[in-house]
Structures are given as structure tokens and as C-alpha cells.
Structure 1
Amino acid sequence: MKIKSLLVNDQTQALGIDSVRPVFHVLWEEMKENDPDCPDQGPSQDALPSFHITVTDSLGVCVWDASGLPADSPYIYYEGEPLRPKNGYKVDITLENGNGVPAGEMVSASFETGFMGMPWQARWVEPEQEDAVEEKELSFFEMVTYVDDGSGPSRLRPCQEVLKRFWCNENIRSARVYASAHGVYDLYINGQRVSKRRLAPECSSYEENLYYQTYDIGEYLVPGENTVSAILADGWWIGRLGMAGDSCNYGRRLGFLMQMELREQDGSVTMVLSDENMVSRPSYIRYSDLFIGEKWDMTFDPGQQWTPCTVADIPMNNLCGQPLPPVQVMDTFSDPRIFYTPSGDLVMDFGQVIAGVVRLTLTARAGDTVILEHSEILDEHGNFKCNILGRNKDQKDIYICRDGEQVFEPRFTYHGFRYVRVSGIDQSQILKAEALVIGTPLRSIGEFSCSDKRLDQLQHNIRWSQISNMCSIPTDCPQREKLGWTGDINVFAPTGCFNYDLKNFLESWLKNMRIAQEDNGEIPVTVPNFVHQDRTQRIMSGSNSSSVWGDACVMVPWYLYMAYGDRHVLEENFHMMEKWMDYIQAACAILPENYDSLSPEEKARNPYLWNKTYHFGDWLIPSLRARPDGVALGTRLTAGVVGSAYYAFVIRHFIRICHILGAEEKATAYETLLPKVCDAVAKTYVDEDGTVNHCSLQGLYVMILACGIVEGDLKQKVADKLVSLIRENDYCLDTGFSSVSYLLDVLYENGYKDVAYKVLFQTKGPSWLYMVENKATTMWENWMAVTPKGIPTDSSYNHYAFGCVGDFIYRRIGGISMAEPGYRKILFAPDLDCGLDNARCSLETPHGLAQCSWEKKAAEESSWQIRIRVPKGTRGIFRCFGEEKILENGTYHFQASRSKTRESWHRLKEKFMGTGQGSGVTVMGQSTLTSG
């Protein structure tokens, strides 16, 4: 085994760490099979090596020295002496064998602590500015019928520039800036931007968890006079947010906080602070809004009329060092197709729906005005079409030019788009156009490909919707709302955790969820829970919580635990889960309005049914969307079933969590409750013939089965009914947000895997491949966003929720799934009968690279070659055609075949590729397994 690198709090440049127990994350080296140090050269049952770790401070003093730490988990939590604020530390880690002898090279990392609760010397300052305009509150009717009149920009204010001059000598040993803002900001030293980060301080629950950033500015300083400055924009603090485009969720004024510490060679520290001596002026950026867009005026001359900032008496107990990597440019699309549409518009097509901005290099005359309008689609005639409607959803960037060649790159906004309409210049003036992909950088860990290019495109679409919606928080879409909808990430998390390492990203978001939880235990449907979005949701539904959505407080920590094997995420969020489960019990105990008319049996079932408060239900059911009242009708028909059935689903997982954490008394209480809930749901909503809630909506049957509500013959009847509905719908799905992630597994596990694959490979809408057939490059919110006649609708074309099918694909077709938390034991069970010729799946587990690839032999209809790689420190289970083999770590090559004369006969041949001397390949064993 070889250690590749070491991350601190999952960051490569860990400055400003505020955690008292930072976590050191070991990444393993991916080795080739002919590497003499490769663990995959033979079945090895040798004891795993252990870690030896030392942590020393900036003076070389050792603050933690630990050996014998088990290497079965790559996450090592600091257990040394208390860390000191604003101090540098070095971490050295080596592998040791059982005798304490080093078994590999030392790998090092460094980190630097932040304030860690120390008081700030700086003060919040506010530039001279007019208070922001708070948008008019909209009624529910106004929200759904609003036609934007384009007046949003007129209500916006200029961005502000703040500046302070300071003196610096030549003897500086280190230089740090700690900064945050009410709004978003870019930091400059001597006019140079000091970081690639964007949209700092990013999105969080500001009332208790406002991030500050730490910068190493040493390379930007010069002896003598220097300047520190920042440009401030509205961001999430003031800007328009959510469905209704409301503003001023946290305040009406921009603010800035900055503490610079210049440490000299003798150890003395000079501080430069934001205070009454900081000055401000309006910026050439005339406004910037996350939704409306950004406007630059390069003819604007602010002059030298700097105005003193005002010191604001604002508490600082909500400040916290940023716990996740900074939002930044992650990818670039260059050389778009530039063309004129049939209607005469100049349009750029970047070929991929993304979240980001355009960097435009152009030549123009002073005063020329360039307008960039962003959209994810063209209409059926090939003309530009704004696909996102509503108040303050402009997605329009404006640039007033100076003379000559110049570059326009918006700084404080981002959009969802593929197409950009350009007006104000002609094509010849565009020298270069690039689409910059903006988001939180995440480590890619999972890959899938196969012989069906449509499925490969679906995987591409899933990943790009995930990339587009991981911008500081997990969002629903990058254009219309940019909100942290809890239901979306609940259904998508298993898929997301396979594609990218989401451990730190979602753990940081869960802290915001803990803050957003109400005193009564209620979890809001969006996190952070912005003030006006909370009001909007309560106007729409009378509540700001729902089953499936709020249940993310249990399920997301569970998915993280299963994916990465670190129980700390369960411990950290357990109290939140307890409060939520108490909230559900209280909601179940509510007496319905018709309680007096209920039978004694119905009254006895009432405390176990979560059907008295608002739920989204099986949100956005395809067959109902065409109706004017379709969304509301879907909620009415499904809310009670989904709320009550999913309650049982969450109880099952909460019981498991209680056992893991040793909360046995609570586990016992919920083990007693679970059968009562299942019985109440079954008797209330499931008829003896398997009909659910007297209706024919597929999602209800899926939820009853997925949540384990019924057993035996009744379970089979429900499954049979579901399949009948699917067949009647020509193998098209009719499931909403809540049920879709369970659909294919429910079919697969109830004897209908052929139906599951027919649904997966269906190209008629609604289906996953209908999107692919209609040239999608990301996942859509609406299954039929493009009608069968090829007419695009006003929908979001970048919603990851329906990408939840990836989890099924990786497990069933790719053949990799966890048999124990953190992939300590891995199940390799590729379905060779899925209809494909080959598939390749790989996952960088916490213990190393797992791989499963298989290919049908061209000359034989029922013969396959399979290759499996089991990482060190894990065990594998290979399951094929009903047979099972236990695998130690290593790389295996199998040949599997099926008898053509008797379908129930299966034969499995195993060959292990070992390290035999001479030939280089040794057959370690061969067996024929038969079942009949």
C-alpha cells in the first residue's frame, strides 16, 4: 500500500481551520498491476499496516504523536494537545507494519488554524450607500402568474469598493488576511486579486454560521506603501433569491470585515484592520445580482472621491472559518459555435448546459453596450428562448465598453445556460468567447461506461447536473432558484456520493441544517432557510416542512456514513435526528378535523399516520403535469401515503443509527413503533387486492414496497399492480420526486427485473432516455420539458434529482455496491443479462480503487469475461448467476457462461492472475460451480 497524499478537512490548502479536531484524510496511491508494491497481486490476508502520525507546530514542538492507528479507515481525527489559534502545523504520516517498522515513505501536509473563538480586532464597516430596495411581497397567485416587466435592474445599486492604505517593511515572515462580508466580495492587494475563489463568503446560514476566508498575501506585498481593497456585491445577503425573487433576506446594507496580520522575523505582529479609516466609493460594476445578472460600465469614472466607511456595531459570534474548498472556475468551454438564428439574433452555443459565466474578449468603441442573455435551450425553430420565467430571473449581463480590445468576465453572479444571445456588437467584434464553469471543486471518485452510448450520455448528464448544482451548497438548479432543497439531495445523495467525494461538502451543509431546524424539530424544505423563502413556502402550503424533504436530516447522514464509513457524521447530527423524529410523532398525534366521525379502528391508527400536516407527496407526477391543477392534485392524492409510508422508511434507518451509536433504549422504542406504523399505513391505504389509495399512480405503489409496508402475498399483489400500471403506460414511468429513486430497485427485487430494464431503456417519454434522445446534456426537472413534437417548454433543464437512477446503474449494471459501510466489504454483482455487451465501473473507495468490468464474448451468446479489483483492507463478494465467491484483495479475472440447453444451469470459471515467477502469470485456482 502507498499513501498518495494527505488532506486536512478534505482541503489541499487548509488555511483558517476553526475545528478543534481536524480530520486527516489519507488518499491511497492507485497502482498498476505490475507494480511490486501493488496490493492486488495475489489473495492477501496479511494484517493491514497501521498509521504513525505526528503533528508539530510552527516552532517544531510535537503536539501529537500516535502510532498503531488502524489503517482500516482513512479518516484520522486529531487527538493531540489543544490547537492554538492562528498557528501553523505540519502533519507527517507513515505506514508501519505489525512490528512498528516503517512500511512506506512519509507523506506530509500542513494546515493553519484560524481564530478558533478568539475575538476579532477588526470591526465591521459599511460603505456609504443607499439602503437596498426590498422587493414587494407576492401572493401565491402573483408568484405563479408573474410576468417580469424587466424593472428588476432599476432597483439595484452599484457595487462598492473599499480600500485602506498601509505600510509594509522588508522583514515580513508571513502575511495573512482574514475577511468576510455582508454580501459577496473579491479581495485585492495593490490592485491584484489575491485568490481564484468566487462568491466569498459563499452561502450558509449567516445568522449563526457566516464563513470568513483566510488569505496568504505575502507574494503581493511590496516594501513601503501598499493597499488592501475589496469590491462588494449583494450576493445572498441582499440579492434576489428563490422562487419569488425576494431580496434583503439578511439585511439592506453591504458590509466588510478584514483583519490583516503581518508577522515579522522577530515574531512581532502588525495589524491592519477594517475600521473608521477604511474608505469607499462606488464601483464600475453598476450592479450585480445572482439572478438578474451583472452590469459593468467601463466609462464610469469614480474619481478620487473616497468616502469614509461607517463602523457598524455588529456581533461577530457567528463567524466561522470556511470549512470547504472555495467556489471557483472548475472548467472552461472554448470555441463556441457562433451563428445567427432564423430571427436574426447572434447566438453562441457552448455545446453543454452548465452553471457559470461567459468570459468575452472583444473589440469595441467607448460607450458601446454589449448584452449577454443566457438560456439553456433554443425554441423549436432554432431561435433564442428564455426558459426561466418569473420575477428577477433575467440572467442578463451588460457591459458598457471602453475603446479597443477588452475582456468582460462577470464576478459576482452565475447563470444556468448553454446558449448566449449577444447584442450590441456583431460577430466580427468577438475575439474570443469562453464559458467558465463555476462551482465547488469536488474530487471525482466514480466512473461508469458501457456499450450503450445512450446510457453513457445519461451518465454524462447526471454528472454535469451534479457539477452545476454543487456551488457552496447542494442546489436544485443553477438558474431559477439556486436553493438548497432538502428533498432533491435526499433522493440524489447515493448517486452523488458515487460520482464525487461529497463527505466534507455535505457535512458542511448539514451544519446549516442543524442551525435551520426549528425549536419544535421541524426541518425546512430548503437549507439555508432564507427568511423570505420561508415566508413564500408558508404562503404556498401553510408549512415549511414535508416528509422526504425534512427526512434528509436522517437520510443524508446515513448515506454519507454508508459511502465513507465514518460514524462521526451520525454522531454530529444525531440530536437533530432525534428532534425531527419527535416532531413527526407530534405531527402524527394531531387529531384530524373529522376525528369524531372516525371508527374506533381508524382512531387507533391515527397516531401512526403522518397525514395531518402538509407534504409535497410524490412531487411532479408526469401524468398530472399537463392539467392546470396537476401539481396540487398530485400533492392531494399522494401526500398521506408518502408521508406515512416514508415515516416507516426513516424509522428503519433511525433504528440502525441508534444501534451504531449505542442508543439502545431509543432503538428499542422505535422497534416497537415500526410495526404499528406499517400496520396503520397498510390498513389505511392498501386494499386486499393490492390497490393503493384507490388510485393508479405508480409512485404510491413504489413507496409502499420500498418502505416495507406490506409483506407476503399482499406485497406481491402490490408489485403486480405496479407492473400492470407500467405496462399499461407502455413501460413509461409515472413517478415523482419522492418515488422515482426506488422505482427500478422495487421492480428488480420483486421479480420484475425485465420490466425494470424496459423502463430504464425506454426512449418514449416520460423516461430517462427520452431526455437523451432529445439531445439533453444535463438532467431535466420536467420529464417532458421538450414535448414529443420537439417544442421546448419553460422548465429547468438542469435539475439533478431525476439523476438518482445512477445509483441503480452503478450497482446493478456496473456491479459495484457496498456490502458494509465505507465499502469495507464490497459486493460485485454485475447483471450480465441487462441487455448490454459490456460495462465498466470503478470507484475510489475510502480504502482504494474498486473495479468491475465485464464483456460478452462475441463468439458465444451466453459467455462473459469479468474483471474485478478488490482494494487492500477490504473483502469482496462476487455474485453471478446465483453463485457466490468470497474474494480477498486482489485482481481477478472470471469467465462466466450459461448453458444453452437448460436455462437454470450456470457455470462459473475463475482464474486469479497472480505473481508467479517465470511466466508472470499463475493460475491460482480454477473451479466449476453448478446450480440446477
Structure 2
Amino acid sequence: MNIYNLKTNHLLNPIGFLIDTLTLSWIVEASFGEKLQGTRVVIGLDENYEKVIHDSGSRTDLDPLSYQPGILLQPRTRYFWKVVAKNAAGEEQASETQYFETAKEEEAWTGNWIEPVRQFERMPLMRKLFRLPTKPIRKARIYATGLGVYELYLNGEKIGDEYLAPGFHSYDFWQQYQTYDVTEILQTGGNAIGFMLGDGWFKGRFGFDGGYENLYGDQFRLIAECVVSYEDGTEEIIATDAAWEAAEGPLVASSIYDGEIYDANLEIKDWNKYSEAATDARWEPVQLSAADTEKLQARLSVPIKIVDAFVPELILTPAGEQVLDFKQNMTGWITFTADVPKGSVITYEVGEVLQEGNFYRENLRTAEAKFTYISNGKPAEVRPYFTFYGFRYAKITGIDLLEQDLGFKGYVLQSELEETSGIITANPDVNQLLKNALWGQKGNFLDVPTDCPQRDERMGWTGDAQIFARTASYHMYTPAFYKKFMHDLRLEQKALDGAVPFVVPQIKPEGDAGFVTGAGAAAWSDAATVIPWVLYEQYGDRSLLQEQYPTMKDWVEYIRREDEKSGAKRLWTTGFQFGDWLALDGANPHSPMGGTDTSLVASVYYYHSASLVARAAEVLGHTQDALVYTNLAAEVKQAIQNEYLTVMGRLAVTTQTAYILFHYFDLCPEQFKERMTKDFYDKVISSGIHLQTGFVGTPYFAEALSRNGMNELAYGLLLNEDYPSWLFAVKMGATTIWERWNSILPDGKISGTDMNSLNHYAYGSIVEWVYRCVLGIQADSAHPGYRHFILAPQPSAQLGKAEGYYQSVSGRIESAWEIMSDGQLFFSFRVPFGTTATITLPDLSLEKARKMEWLQEAIPTEVGVSVTVKAGDYSVSYMPTRNYRPEVTTKLTYRELLEYTPARKVIFEQLPMMRNNEIALQYLDMPFEAFKELPIVSNFVSDETLERLDATFSGGIPIIDKISLQS
């Protein structure tokens, strides 16, 4: 047996985190046939468990996904714990010991907030020199936070490997402090604690379009306590007070958006080391701040760390620039080694794309995104401190890189999250797309799930976070990351009477009532319900759902009040709505608003969120709430059908997104299901199987197709290579996901600069479909955390082969399939120890299935057969009942497409000049040759027009099976 992945509140060995509810989790791995007789959790105050404070005893009912020992935790205490499992033979196996350590809890602060007496022109240094007695130290901790952002030094060493602490959170409601173990660095005799501070998010320039200053404060602040515990049982505290000192440091300027200027000539030598020498005149007294300590709270933010590094290639551009290409659009910073004459100025500025081979950065808008280093003539390792950049390219000035190599490196900064999955397919472009989606997450999960990391924005848009939550939770182990985000969301929501801001933390510039301060919009604010439910399904931790249930409920009650204001129609028709943001089917091509009725989008999310609250209430045992919200969801569903469906089952809103929402959220009445699915099919075909969707429709598009018998269209959607499609960006060289389908045009020109990020992860949500439908790995909400799960891959000859894994909280799940050269289907699965799975195999007859050993209990389904299995490795190959190997992928010309009457109808019904032209519409069923001669439509279907359209789409529209269209 192997017991691994021991986590405390979903963190590995956390120190100083907020532990409101103590939850322990682990994974047991054993031979598939082995059975556990019991599991035991032991918690002690020492590694040898001589002081045990909790022993669960060997039990069969311990929940390995969220065991809550219910012990009373003491402040500033380290607890050690292990899991012991016993097999059927009575043999025991213990895990490695892990630990967690509490913060100050409810203890009052000895330290005071301190600040410089005057407004410094440069970023400040603060320090305290002190001496300790010559007696053995048992342990030492520093509890501290600095505003805006800070780094901690002790005796000349940077403490810890995290950056940009204390992170980005709702500073007006709470302020996180961090805990540092400094036992090994503190020494008897002289010591020096030093802090370096910068603006960050708390102060300085930040907010939408970069247009705001000092959102939370205009003064640097620091609070710290160094608590030294001696072996003799005594304790000493060195805390921030008026005896500390401050000086202006060498960091001349620092800004999240604009970067930094570092002048090494202004360095104070050994500023963070103890010295008996007379005080340098550059050090000034500090003053106590008027700020209180009531908002201080132990951290929730996962630390921001360096997670990867890249060595660039040097490019000399046509404009004569020195540009470094790091080959990957990423978030972080660039370092180099400077050994240059005194006064030398070395600068880099960053960008995401080249234009005509030259450096370009205009899509960063007002963000300068620069770094400037001024040398003091001494060798130095140079890096930024309190900023980060989104970039692939960097233009270097001030040094000739052909003559001197400064060892430039690009370092990736990201909240420290474990990657938990991997997929490879037979299509290299799809593999690159999957990589791009992962890098979109890596670039934007920097303390908050930001929209983009490069321009003058970088904020926690709730819409992006909601859309991407399940993809994110396949990619990485996210519960601790989202717990902090949802904590901020809840604090913001409480101040808004149930509404949820468009961005979290909310940007609240004084006196500004503009767009970015808004709250309460569908798909964005529904992060309040969607994220908690995704976390519950993926990780099975009921305590997270319990904690976030009030947030979920308050959000739906907010929508209900909006509904009541407008007549209690059980539709959401009030307030500003984003709608299907950035969709391509809007009436105004220059507007980001899509063509789908925003009240339809809002009402569908009303239904969705009410349904999620009902399900959460049922899980948590809130029986009355479950009934209330089930009924509310049913009323909203009926109202949507009444408002948006004709009596014959025709959708009143005929956009792709409208069809997607009705099919994905099961809003199609049974009697109209066939007709509505046919209309959906025709709609997709009429677009040449191209996306017209935005932020709302795109995440659900492929799965809505695969769920409703149109799996080949879903693959066609994935595999299109021309605009608009996912692979268009891949073919254009993208290494992350773009904000717009045409962020870069086919000629390589950027399509615009006002809102055009090349690292914007939202459309990477297609990866959710890849896991759920291509590999078929799906959570079962009745057994969350993959105790039991679904394996239902839907293969296609368009892709040919796919294999991957997901490291769930219950163990490693594997799924693979291949369409063999002889037409057989091959499947392979791994179901981890201690779990069960229901496997669905498509186009396999029950007769054939029951001849195979592990499929003897199979039952028939609409698509093939399914069987529930215990842990184990399973594989099967068989000749399917339908052909998975079409001879060729047909490319239809526009003429052939318009010859298909349903496609012609959908196309012409979308044309503004035709939509209300009853004379034209009555001729849509005519044979094409006669139809195209009608004067009223001839301009639309002339030979010249059709040839131009074919040229635009590279010679035709890819359709997997032409026969299926004609049928």
C-alpha cells in the first residue's frame, strides 16, 4: 500500500494559513484486489507522536476526501499527522508524516502598523537591528505583512521563495498576513530584520484601463512580529514600533502595469545585515500608523512562486532592434547578470507579438511594462521585485547583446498549484491547443484568476473565472486557490446586498460609478454558484460547499428580487448584462455584445443558479431550501420555454448560443427535442461548422453537440483551422489562448488594440469538453470527488486517437481510445483503488459485450453498452456497429452548402435584408438553380460571390460526412 497526497485544507504542509474548518485528505493506493480493514488518523504535537492529541482509531467510515477531526487548535502551534491503513490481512502501512501550523489565531498583535514619517519618492526599506541572548533557540517565527507588497529579509537573506506577498485581495475588508519559519536563520547575538516594500495592488496605479491611483491607501505600511521561543521555555517578541527605521531604497519606481526602475547607485550596502557601526544618515525614524489591526487575518492566498524558466533566442529585427524571443507567451519577469560600467542603463520592455518582424506592444494600452536597471559598476544579479509582465518578446536597449551575453532568462510566476492532468492526441495542432489552454491558466492564476496578465487591467473578472473553473480543476489542484477567491467574493457580495461584482476583488475608485464598479450580471456573477459546485463535484469536500452555500443562496435571492421588481415573470430582464460577450453574431460588428437576447442569457443562468442552489441544499441537508429552489428553478424553466419557444417548438432566438443554452441546460421540452436538435444541427451546418459564439456560448458548444447526438460536429468545430476557430490561433503561432477569435489576422497583423489580449484563458474552456467527452472522464455529483465516476469517451475518426489521465483526489484515472486501421475501436481505462466507475462503450452490441469477461454484466444504452466496474485496468477492442472510418472528410463548397435546403434557410434567415422579406423566404425551398436566379437574392448567391466565399474559407467548408447532410 501507498498512502500519499496528504493535504491540510487542500495544502501541503501549510504554515500560518487561516484554518476555519480543519479538513484532512489523502489517497490510498493498493493492489486492485486488496481491501481495507480500516483507516486511522493520528495527530500529535511532535514527529514521534509522543504527545498524541487525536487518534481516530481504525475505522471504515473515515472520509479520505475531507476528514474533520474536530480538535481545538491552539495559536502558533505545529501539528504533525499521519494516516495508517490496515489491509484485510491485518497488515498496517503508515504514510509519511505531514504537518500544519496555525497562525496567531485570535491573539492580539504586539506589533503596530508603522509607516515612513514623510512621503518617500522611492520605494522604502524598513528594518530593525536587535540582539538576542546567547541561549538555545527552540523555534522562531515572523508574522508580518506589508502594504502594498513586500519582501522579507533576515540577516542578509531573502526569507522564503514566494513573491508579491501579501497578494491581491479585498484590502478594504481584510488584510492577509504571512508566517515565516526563521529558526535556522535567526542567531544569538546581532540580527537584522529588513523589509523592502513596493506599491503593488494596494497603492499606486491599478484598475480598469489603468486609470486609478491608490485604490486602498496612499501610504506604505508594515506590521511584523518576530517571536523567538527558547529551549528554556521563555519567549521574546521583536515587534514593529516607533524604534524601527526607514530609508528610501534603490527601487526608484515600481508599478504592476508600468514595471520598475532600479538604480544600483542608490543601494544601501548591507542594509539588511546587523552592524555595530554608527547609523547611516539615510535611515530615518518611522511613525506609528493610525490603521488598526482588526482587518488582519491569517493568509488564504496560495504563495506566488517561480514555476518555470526559459532561455530566449536573440532576434535582430528589420528595425534594428535587439529582441529576445522566449518562445512562450508567459507571465513573470526577466533576469540578467549585469557586469557593466557605472552609470550604464539597461532597459527591457515586453510585448506579446511581433509586427512585420519588429517589436510591438500597443495592445498593452497604457501599461508601459518596462524594466530599467542603472548600474553602479559592480557585478549584480538583476531582477524585478514588485511587478510582473505578460510577454513572449522583450526589446533590450543599453547593451550590445552580440558583444556581451548578460544571461537573460524568463521566469514564470504563478500561484503554486500542482498540475493534475495530461492529454495527447493524434493531432499535433490539438495537442498545441491543449498546451495553450494550460499556459493561459498558468499565466492568469496569479493569486486571483485574472482575465489577462499584460495590459492595464489584470483583474479578477468573475465571468472568466466561472467559465473556466472546471477546465482549471482538471488542469490543476485548485480548491485552496478558489477558496481564497470565493472568500473575497463573499466579502464583496455582503456589501452589495447579494449582488456579485464583475471583478473580484472589486475595484472601487472613490466617486466612480462606472462600468468596472458594476455588479449583478449573468454568467459573470454566477461565479457565486458555479465555482462552489464545480469544487464540490471535483474534490468532494462538503465543507467547502457548506462554507460557500450562503454565497450561492444570496446570489439567487438577488436575482429573484430583480425578477420581482419586473413583475415576477420568473425571467431576468433587468439591469446591465454582458450577454454573449465578444460573440461574432451581433448586429453591430464594432460592439462586443453578441446577437443573443441578453434576457435569454440572464434567464438561463437564473435557472442554472437556482438549480445549483437546490442541489447544494439537498447535499447539505437543507430540506426546505432544496424544495424552494427546486420549485423556483422549475418555474424559471417553464417561463423560459413560454417566452422563447413557439407553440410548434421553434426557438424565437436563432443564434448558435441560444441553441447551445437550450441543449446544454436541458431546456428543450421532450415533445420538441427532435425538432430543436435538427434546428441546432442546421444552424451549425449553415455556419460551415464555425464558431459565432462568445463568452457564454463557447464553453458549452462542443458538449451541447456531443450530448445530443452531434458528436461529429463537435469534433469538426474543434478541428476547423480557419477563422473563427480554436486552431486558427494555433496555426497563427499562438502559445496561449487569445481574447478574440481574430486577435491576429491571417496576414499576421493584430486586429486591434483597445481590448485584445493574446493571453486570455476563457476560450480555453474547450478543454473541459476534451476531458468530459473525448476522454470521457466525468465526475458523478452523487459521489463527488471521483469516488464513483463516469468513463464515456466519444471517439471520432476526425481525431483518430486520444489518451490522457486525471489525477483526481481519489487516485489517477486513465482513459485512452484509438480507431484502428481495420476499423476496430480500442479502449483502455484505469479505475483507481477504492473507486468504482461506470464505463460506456459506444456502438457495441450487448451480444458481443457479454462474451467479454469484464463486460458480462453490461446493460444496453442508447449509444452502446455500459457497465459498472471496481478498481482495475480494463481494455477492449471490437468492430463497432457503425463505421468510424469515413473515406474522406468532405469539403463542401458554398454552392454545395446552399444546395442543402435546411442550411440555405438558416443562412438566409440571418441576413438582415432577408429576415423579414416574406417574398424571398417563401422561395427558399426552390431548387437552387432557380432560386439563385431570383432578382431579390441573386446578389447573395452569384457565382462571383460564391467563389469569393470559397476563397475566404480556403476552398470549402469541412464536413465530416456529406451523406449525413443530404439525409
Q: Which of residues 721, 724, 727 is equivalent to 1:769?
A: 727
Inter-partner Cα distance in structure 2 for 1:684 and 1:902: 40
Task: Tell me by how many angstroms 1:573 deviates.
Answer: 1.0
* CA deviation string 1:271-303 (max 9, x = no partner): 111100000010101111111111100122566
Inter-partner Cα distance in structure 2 for 1:413 and 1:748: 43
Report whether the alignment pairs 1:211 with 2:151.
Answer: no
Report whether the alignment pairs 1:161 with 2:125.
Answer: yes
Q: How does 1:185-334 map to 2 (within 5 A)?
A: 185-245=150-210, 246-300=212-266, 304-334=281-311
Q: Which residue of 2 aligns with 1:360?
A: 336
* CA deviation string 1:462-483 (max 9, x = no partner): 1111111111111111112221
More displaced, 288-297 or 382-391? Answer: 382-391
Q: Structure 1 counterpart of 2:600, which letter? A: V
Inter-partner Cα distance in structure 1 for 2:885 and 2:673: 27
Task: Tell me by how many angstroms 1:406 deviates.
Answer: 2.7
Q: TM-score, normalised by structure 1?
A: 0.87
Please say if residues 698 and 763 of structure 2, whose CA atoms lie closer than 8 Å, have aligned partners that are also in contact. yes
Q: Which of residues 784, 788, 791 is equivalent to 1:828?
A: 791
Inter-partner Cα distance in structure 2 for 1:760 and 1:73: 39
Q: Structure 1 counterpart of 2:461, which letter? A: W
Q: Which residue of 2 aligns with 1:921?
A: none
**Could you say what secondary structure the match of 2:408 adopts?**
strand
Report whether the alignment pairs 1:620 with 2:582.
Answer: yes
Please say if residues 363 and 429 of structure 1, whose CA atoms lie closer than 8 Å, have aligned partners that are also in contact. no
Q: How does 1:387-786 map to 2 (within 5 A)?
A: 387-391=362-366, 393-427=367-401, 428-480=403-455, 481-517=457-493, 518-532=495-509, 538-540=513-515, 543-591=518-566, 606-624=568-586, 627-628=589-590, 630-631=591-592, 633-634=593-594, 637-688=596-647, 692-694=651-653, 696-786=654-744
Inter-partner Cα distance in structure 2 for 1:332 and 1:901: 46
Q: Structure 2 counterpart of 1:848, which letter? A: G
| Cα 1:13/1:53, change in 2 over 3 Å | closer
Q: Structure 2 counterpart of 1:168, which letter? A: L
Name which structure has the greater RCO, CA cutoff 8 Å, separation 6+: 1
Q: Which of residues 865, 879, 902 is equivalent to 1:897?
A: 879
Inter-partner Cα distance in structure 2 for 1:667 and 1:176: 46
| Cα 1:584/1:330, change in 2 over 3 Å | same
**Could you say what secondary structure the match of 1:651 adopts?**
helix
Q: TM-score, normalised by structure 2?
A: 0.84
Please say if residues 590 and 607 of structure 1, whose CA atoms lie closer than 8 Å, have aligned partners that are also in contact. no
Task: Tell me by how many angstroms 1:327 deviates.
Answer: 0.6
Inter-partner Cα distance in structure 2 for 1:253 and 1:485: 27
Inter-partner Cα distance in structure 2 for 1:523 and 1:269: 45
Q: Which residue of 1 aligns with 2:917?
A: none
Q: Which residue of 2 aligns with 1:815?
A: 776
Inter-partner Cα distance in structure 2 for 1:708 and 1:903: 31
Q: Structure 2 counterpart of 1:670, which letter? A: Y
- Structure 1, unmatched stretches of 5+, are 30-37, 132-156, 592-602, 905-932
Please say if residues 363 and 403 of structure 1, whose CA atoms lie closer than 8 Å, have aligned partners that are also in contact. yes
* Number of equivalenced pairs: 843
Task: Tell me by how many angstroms 1:899 deviates.
Answer: 5.2
Q: How does 1:136-175 map to 2 (within 5 A)?
A: 157-170=121-134, 171-175=136-140
Please say if residues 9 and 323 of structure 1, whose CA atoms lie closer than 8 Å, have aligned partners that are also in contact. no
Please say if residues 316 and 322 of structure 2, whose CA atoms lie closer than 8 Å, have aligned partners that are also in contact. yes
Inter-partner Cα distance in structure 2 for 1:535 and 1:699: 37
* CA deviation string 1:308-356 (max 9, x = no partner): 111013221222222343111111112x110211111110000000000
Task: Tell me by how many angstroms 1:718 deviates.
Answer: 3.5
Inter-partner Cα distance in structure 2 for 1:691 and 1:621: 22
Q: Structure 2 counterpart of 1:180, which letter? A: T
| Cα 1:57/1:85, change in 2 over 3 Å | farther
Please say if residues 649 and 708 of structure 1, whose CA atoms lie closer than 8 Å, have aligned partners that are also in contact. no
**Could you say what secondary structure the match of 2:208 adopts?**
coil
Please say if residues 813 and 834 of structure 1, whose CA atoms lie closer than 8 Å, have aligned partners that are also in contact. no
Inter-partner Cα distance in structure 1 for 2:885 and 2:65: 47
* CA deviation string 1:394-426 (max 9, x = no partner): 111111112153322001100100000111111
Report whether the alignment pairs 1:94 with 2:84.
Answer: yes
Inter-partner Cα distance in structure 2 for 1:893 and 1:109: 37
Q: Which residue of 1 aligns with 2:51?
A: 61
Q: Structure 2 counterpart of 1:898, which letter? A: P
Q: Which residue of 1 aligns with 2:65?
A: 75
Q: Structure 2 counterpart of 1:200, which letter? A: A
Inter-partner Cα distance in structure 1 for 2:693 and 2:836: 36
* CA deviation string 1:796-849 (max 9, x = no partner): 011111011101111221232223321111222222335233211111111111
Q: Which of residues 100, 125, 130 is equivalent to 2:114?
A: 125
Inter-partner Cα distance in structure 1 for 2:647 and 2:360: 50
Inter-partner Cα distance in structure 2 for 1:535 and 1:440: 33
Inter-partner Cα distance in structure 2 for 1:869 and 1:423: 54
Q: Which of residues 852, 870, 874 is equivalent to 2:815?
A: 852
Inter-partner Cα distance in structure 2 for 1:323 and 1:105: 29
Q: Structure 2 counterpart of 1:126, which letter? A: E
Q: Which residue of 1 aligns with 2:932?
A: none
Q: Which residue of 2 aligns with 1:340?
A: 316
Task: Tell me by how many angstroms 1:117 deviates.
Answer: 1.2
Q: Structure 2 counterpart of 1:742, which letter? A: Y
Please say if residues 55 and 92 of structure 1, whose CA atoms lie closer than 8 Å, have aligned partners that are also in contact. no
**Could you say what secondary structure the match of 1:384 adopts?**
coil
Q: Structure 2 counterpart of 1:167, which letter? A: R
Inter-partner Cα distance in structure 2 for 1:790 and 1:385: 12
**Could you say what secondary structure the match of 1:377 adopts?**
coil
Task: Tell me by how many angstroms 1:625 deviates.
Answer: 9.6
Q: Structure 1 counterpart of 2:176, which letter? A: Y
| Cα 1:119/1:731, change in 2 over 3 Å | same
Task: Tell me by how many angstroms 1:894 deviates.
Answer: 1.4
More displaced, 210-219 or 786-795? Answer: 786-795
**Could you say what secondary structure the match of 2:597 adopts?**
helix
**Could you say what secondary structure the match of 2:727 adopts?**
helix
Inter-partner Cα distance in structure 1 for 2:572 and 2:881: 51
More displaced, 229-238 or 651-660? Answer: 651-660
**Could you say what secondary structure the match of 1:378 adopts?**
coil
| Cα 1:714/1:656, change in 2 over 3 Å | same
* CA deviation string 1:874-906 (max 9, x = no partner): 1122211211122111112212222579999xx
Task: Tell me by how many angstroms 1:429 deviates.
Answer: 2.8
Q: Which residue of 2 aligns with 1:15?
A: 15
Please say if residues 367 and 402 of structure 1, whose CA atoms lie closer than 8 Å, have aligned partners that are also in contact. yes
| Cα 1:892/1:566, change in 2 over 3 Å | same
Inter-partner Cα distance in structure 1 for 2:353 and 2:289: 45
| Cα 1:361/1:588, change in 2 over 3 Å | same
Q: Structure 1 counterpart of 2:86, which letter? A: E
| Cα 1:553/1:110, change in 2 over 3 Å | same
Inter-partner Cα distance in structure 2 for 1:571 and 1:91: 25
Please say if residues 774 and 802 of structure 2, whose CA atoms lie closer than 8 Å, have aligned partners that are also in contact. yes
| Cα 1:901/1:806, change in 2 over 3 Å | closer
Q: Which residue of 1 aligns with 2:102?
A: 113
Report whether the alignment pairs 1:51 with 2:40.
Answer: yes
